[in-house]
Amino acid sequence: MTGLTPPLAAEADGWIVELVSEPFTLGSEDVDVALERLRSHADQHGWDLVIGVTELPLRDDDGRYLLAAVHPRRRSAVLSLPALGGFRVQRRARHAVRGLVDGMAEPVSPEEQRLPLPRLSARGRVLLGMVLANRPWRLAAGLKSALVAALATGAVATIEPTVWSLALSLSPWRLVAATVASIAIIIAWIVIDGRLWDRPDDDSPAARERSRLYNTSTLLTLTVGIVICYLTLYVVNLAWALFVLDPAVMSEDLGRSVEFGDLFVLTWFVASAATVGGALGTGLESDEAIRAATYSKREEERRARLADERDAR
């Protein structure tokens, strides 16, 4: 969680701004806990206003997802970045923080205020913000060895007549099934190998909902990232097939007519087979890009850092 006090001070005369970034997370999905910890930081640093900007989803006691919570009397507030939806986050965050500052500088009411998201779109909006914050397009960096192995596997398979025969004999629905199965296998392997599945801390509805949200964001992030890797593999293998294969030669070996359009089908099958064979054959790396694809893993790292800090005191 990042604390700003007072935020956007550059836009107001007489303000001094300080920024603090730290793994401020244990129990901080609870709004009251978050506000209390922010106020404690403000007292320690002598801040007049304090706003926490967190990548965690926030929910109140009624189960509503919140954009922000404000305690004007104590001049503290917390803003949830995932609740901004994931698009134009910096611009929206600046606008939201400016509004929170104005609300605490001239409080209309001294009572604590909650800013809930619309119920119908709240969960989807928060989930989208979490997935985009994970930057799934960077997942390939954490799978570079597996991706290289899959490319090598595909390059070899592309020139094998047995693979030609098998690929061209498959119906479209079987090719689709092979694609879905290969992507699902890799996602399951990453989750199991990286121990990314989040489990509730207790049996409360809030803890179960939080774990469901984290796990859903992890699965969606991995799905987007693996699909990008799959498409990259397909394009590279297609270029290789168009460069090295001659439909006339393939026709002689298979005893049937082969056209350039069949190379797209061949590459489709090879991409699915190479995805599973290459990735599972080499194993997956322990990489920041993979660990960053899950909120549960981030939470685990923060807890470890906080525990180390407590032990050092």
pLDDT value at residue 23: 63
HSE of 196, CA atoms in CB hemisphere, 13 A? 27
Rounded-to-integer distance, Cα 24 and Cα 44, Å: 15
Q: Where are the alpha helices (DSSP H) in 245-294?
A: 247-254, 260-282, 288-291
User: Residue 88: which H helix or E strand, with range?
Assistant: none
pLDDT value at residue 170: 87
Rounded-to-integer distance, Cα 222 and Cα 208, Å: 21
pLDDT digits (tens, 9 = 90+) for 19-71: 877 766 545 567 887 888 888 888 888 888 888 888 888 888 788 899 998 88
pLDDT value at residue 9: 41
The closest alpha carbon to 186, from 143, 217, 144, belongs to: 143
Task: Read off φ and ψ for residue 76, nearest 5 degrees.
Answer: -140, 150
pLDDT value at residue 180: 95
User: Residue 27: which H helix or E strand, with range?
Assistant: none
Rounded-to-integer distance, Cα 259 and Cα 121, Å: 48
pLDDT value at residue 249: 86
Instruction: Locate 211 and state its tokens.
Output: 């774990």
pLDDT digits (tens, 9 = 90+) for 174-197: 999 999 999 998 888 888 877 788
pLDDT value at residue 12: 47
* pLDDT one digit per residue (tens) for the chain, 313 residues: 444 444 444 444 456 778 877 766 545 567 887 888 888 888 888 888 888 888 888 888 788 899 998 888 788 899 998 998 877 888 888 888 888 888 777 766 667 788 899 888 888 999 999 888 888 888 777 777 778 888 888 888 888 888 988 888 889 999 999 999 999 988 888 888 777 888 887 788 888 888 898 899 999 999 998 999 899 999 999 999 999 888 888 888 888 888 888 899 999 999 998 888 766 655 555 556 666 666 666 666 665 665 565 566 6
User: Residue 50: which H helix or E strand, with range?
Assistant: strand 50-54
pLDDT value at residue 108: 61
pLDDT value at residue 4: 42
pTM score: 0.81
pLDDT value at residue 39: 84
